[in-house]
């Protein structure tokens, strides 16, 4: 998708669809409204007279019939001006994009100042949201479709009409596009079937990203992991014919390797539950169990293109979880990379096992701050539904940084408690240091705190994206399937570390 800025009057711009925002109680809209209204013989003013913005209709399309270079004008209902923030802007721009796809238009032009004041910073932020929404709403995953009739229309060009602040708006569009394209990369990975995305293929994708941006990388194979003693990851992997991988990427944006922000992503490319087998219904969706890894790789793509002045370490433990004669069994005791022993009560609680080695390994590579991401527990869906990511942390400052980054990115995160009684549940095994599945009570909290045992004193935040990495319905910015959740939050967090 191409993004441009046009410093012309709206009445002079050639486009398939010209978009103007109207807000409740706004009797004299600014931007392109007056000139466009005059060219259309007062048609736009009728929306104000009829108090159209107080209704529930989101948009109206007017065919200009040659009165303007634009073929159509879309009047968009922004609602209350005081309540119009960047999250609502993304949703509104996503809605416009999906309507444009239905109309099969190739070029969409926005009068940006009709949605914001002439403040350069506000317009730049709105341009960022516009580019994000345009790309995200246009996303589709049709890699494996072969019929021509399945081909979908696309918006090829989005332009923004502004009278001043061009450089700031251009930068906003560029950054928003990069954030969205990183998110779409993560969506592609999550949507790819498990027979096409094995741990080895995931490692190849990581190498591709690292090579493109000049990052250091290392891919540990089974023999190297055995030598290092990564018993938790290897225990999960022993039931699969696919070899496990420990994927490492380093981005050094500072002169010295210090103040290192580590992203650790769960890379379970397919999860059957192992011996503790999942029900067959909807098991096909468990190709999404590497959503944490996808978010980390999507964020590294964004970081590689924006190059913030910070140090970022990406660690992705990757395997399948399969039942076989070699598979990990309930009751087994395994030894993790950092020496802690774990009693396996449930082999379907495997994500915390591979992340245990990933988090501990990140510390040996110099991580000063750790954020792990995982489609970890079904319990998080019960607690928070499918719209909010759950968080557990051992550090107030880092938790606040993550929450602020998520708010800026427009992604919802809620912090869960981490009181001592929950920690005792994780340590409740009679035969080992830790219990990987102490029961249904507080399942998301205990899963997160299990990981906290391996973070130790290192500032750490765990993000459980089991409810948000996959969508069973469409909305303004997503389709069914992988959402690419937390890519934008991680990228925003990295940029905040560069401040």
Binding-site members are 266, 271, 289, 348, 350
The Cα–Cα gap between 133 and 85 comes to: 14
* Cα-to-chain-centroid distance, residue 235: 29
CB-CB contact of 361 with 230 (8 Å)? yes
**Which helix (H) or strand (E) covers residue 312, if one does?**
strand 311-321
The Cα–Cα gap between 433 and 340 comes to: 6
Annotated binding-site residues for Mn(2+) read: 266, 271, 289, 348, 350
DSSP assignment of 245-286, as one string? EEEEEEEE-SSSS-SEEEEEE-EEEEE--TTSPPPSTTGGGG
Catalytic residues: 278, 352
The pair phi, psi for residue 157, each rounded to 5°, is: -140, 125
Q: Are strands 157-161 and 481-482 parallel, antiparallel or unpaired?
A: unpaired
Please state the three-class secondary structure of 377-440 as a single string.
Answer: CCHHHHHHCCCCEEEEECCHHHHHHHHHHHHHHCCCEEECCCCHHHHHHHCCCCCCCEECCCCC
Tokens of 49: 């007279």
Q: Are strands 216-220 and 245-252 parallel, antiparallel or unpaired?
A: antiparallel
Task: Single out the residue of 158, 139, 123, 144 nearest to residue 30, CA to CA.
Answer: 123
């Amino acid at each position: 998708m191409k993004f441009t800025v046009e410093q012309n009057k709206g009445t002079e711009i050639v486009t398939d669809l010209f978009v103007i925002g109207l807000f409740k109680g706004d009797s004299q809209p600014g931007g392109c409204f007056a000139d466009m209204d005059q060219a259309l013989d007062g048609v736009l003013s009728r929306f104000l007279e009829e108090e159209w913005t107080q209704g529930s209709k989101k948009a109206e399309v007017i065919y200009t019939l040659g009165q303007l270079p634009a073929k159509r004008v879309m009047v968009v209902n922004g609602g209350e001006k005081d309540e119009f923030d960047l999250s609502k802007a993304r949703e509104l721009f996503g809605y416009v994009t999906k309507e444009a796809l239905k109309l099969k238009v190739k070029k969409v032009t926005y009068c940006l100042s009709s949605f914001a004041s002439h403040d350069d910073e506000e317009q730049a932020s709105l341009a960022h949201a516009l580019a994000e929404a345009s790309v995200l709403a246009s996303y589709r995953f049709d890699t494996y479709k072969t019929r021509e009739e399945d081909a979908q229309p696309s918006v090829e060009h989005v332009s923004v009409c502004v009278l001043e602040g061009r450089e700031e708006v251009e930068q906003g569009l560029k950054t928003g596009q990069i954030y969205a394209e990183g998110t779409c990369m993560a969506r592609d990975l999550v949507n790819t079937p498990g027979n096409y995305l094995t741990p080895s293929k995931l490692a190849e994708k990581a190498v591709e990203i690292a090579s493109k941006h000049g990052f250091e990388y290392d891919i540990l194979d089974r023999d190297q992991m055995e030598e290092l003693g990564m018993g938790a990851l290897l225990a999960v992997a022993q039931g699969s014919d696919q070899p496990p991988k420990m994927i490492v990427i380093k981005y050094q944006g500072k002169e010295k390797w210090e103040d290192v922000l580590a992203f650790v992503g769960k890379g379970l490319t397919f999860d059957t539950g192992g011996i503790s087998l999942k029900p067959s219904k909807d098991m096909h969706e468990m190709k999404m169990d590497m959503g944490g890894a996808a978010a980390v790789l999507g964020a590294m793509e964004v970081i590689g293109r924006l190059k913030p002045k910070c140090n970022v370490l990406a660690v992705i433990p990757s395997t399948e979880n399969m039942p076989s004669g070699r598979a990990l069994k309930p009751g087994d005791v395994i030894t993790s990379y950092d020496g802690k022993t774990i009693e396996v009560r449930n082999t379907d609680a495997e994500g915390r096992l591979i992340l245990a080695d990933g988090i501990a390994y990140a510390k040996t590579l110099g991580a000063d701050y750790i954020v792990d991401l995982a489609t970890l527990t079904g319990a998080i869906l019960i607690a928070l539904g499918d719209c909010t990511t759950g968080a557990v942390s051992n550090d107030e400052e880092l938790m606040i940084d993550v929450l602020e980054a998520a708010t800026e990115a427009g992604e919802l995160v809620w912090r869960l408690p981490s009181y001592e009684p929950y920690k005792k549940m994780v340590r409740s095994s009679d035969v080992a240091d830790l219990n990987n599945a102490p029961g249904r009570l507080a399942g998301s909290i205990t899963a997160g705190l299990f990981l906290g045992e391996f973070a130790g004193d290192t500032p750490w935040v765990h993000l459980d994206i089991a409810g948000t990495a996959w969508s069973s319905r469409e909305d303004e910015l997503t389709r069914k399937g992988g959402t690419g959740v937390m890519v934008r939050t991680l990228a925003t967090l990295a940029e905040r570390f560069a401040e």
